[in-house]
Structure 1
Amino acid sequence: MMGLPDDEDGMLHEINVTPLVDVMLVLLVIFIIAAPLMARALQLKLPQVAAPSFQASQVLEWVVLENGQWQLDGTPLTVEQMEARLQASMAVQPECVVRLSVAAQTPYDHVAAAIALAKAKGVTRLAFATQPLDGRH
């Protein structure tokens, strides 16, 4: 007979690709919808908080500028000078608070170096300023 398959049972033995195509189209639609959601950046806005105030004699103001320079109580200092000042302050007043103010665009390695130096010199109370103080930096 013409037009009939050659096997005895009369069935065509081919792979049905329709379900495979359906699954692939569903996955494509899911990825098209999910791709823009994964591409969004996480925008952080820091909260405005009120920190407890300290007595002026207990607080050292340490400013880290964008270029990596350091200021202590408004005076620019080198690393060696900063080490000496921190060590002297901690010897006189061990409970002294060091308030670290950092410019918004300062690279993290400058901040990490400041924190490491404070820890090495025995600073046990390190505070982070959330906003610039009096436009000094």
Structure 2
Amino acid sequence: MGPCIALTRGGRLRAKIKWRDDEDGHLVTCDEEFRHAFAEAEQDAARLPLIAEVTLDDGDCLSIGLGREISVLSYVGASKMPPYFSSQGPARVRDGEGVVFHYYGHWSEFPPSAAVPTAEAVEAVRYFCEHGKLSPLMNWVEV
């Protein structure tokens, strides 16, 4: 196991990853903890595709769909007021039906236009944790 490289700004906690409504979530302060939390979430998502929420210490939240070959991303700022943003996938991915994930006890459907490759979505979440903003490598659309 390598060193834990901090994902903190000013010594404060950077993120909490949560996907179960019966727990507080995983506190993530370094890359090692990020990988561990995502591995656990993906293990749960293998049984039931789900949405995991990644909330920064400032309250900004980026949600990611796990458990499918494609994913979706949804951003809500700390104020919980618009604008809200969603991922926008490449045409080759977004053709077809809506994408469905389990979100705290309910099924949530997302439009096919929001579908992106899961590996790219995970990298966008990593960027969000490290930089505190949406990845410039992902296409975003206001919803």
Q: TM-score range by the shorter chain?
A: under 0.3
Instruction: Return the structure number with greater strand share.
Output: 2
Rg: which structure is higher? 1
TM-score, length-scaled by structure 1? 0.28
TM-score, length-scaled by structure 2? 0.27
